[in-house]
Amino acid sequence: MAEEISTELKDKVVELFQTKNKMMTSRDVAKALDLDNRTAKKVLTELVNAGILEFTSYGGATFIKLVESAG
């Protein structure tokens, strides 16, 4: 279970968000990158903790999006 999340995988996730330019769920990310949902959630959590992505909720569902830069 001590699976290390690679920088390459994090880059792919960020690139996916930049390409899609919309909010997605962890399942959307898992499906798009052919990952299992647990791995997708772990990568997303690390990126949220790093300040690259952020969680947002709409109507009881939790989505993830790129942090919008101020300016």
State how far the Cα of 64 lies from the Cα of 17, in Å rounded to an integer.
9
**Contact call for residues 53 and 18 (beta carbons, < 8 A):** no
pLDDT tens, position by position, 14-51: 999 999 999 999 999 999 999 999 999 999 999 999 99
* Per-residue model confidence (pLDDT) at position 69: 57
CATH number of the domain located at residue range(s) 7-66 in this protein: 1.10.10.10
* Per-residue model confidence (pLDDT) at position 68: 80
Q: Give the start-end residues of each E strand in the chain.
A: 53-58, 61-66
Domain boundaries, the chain: 7-66
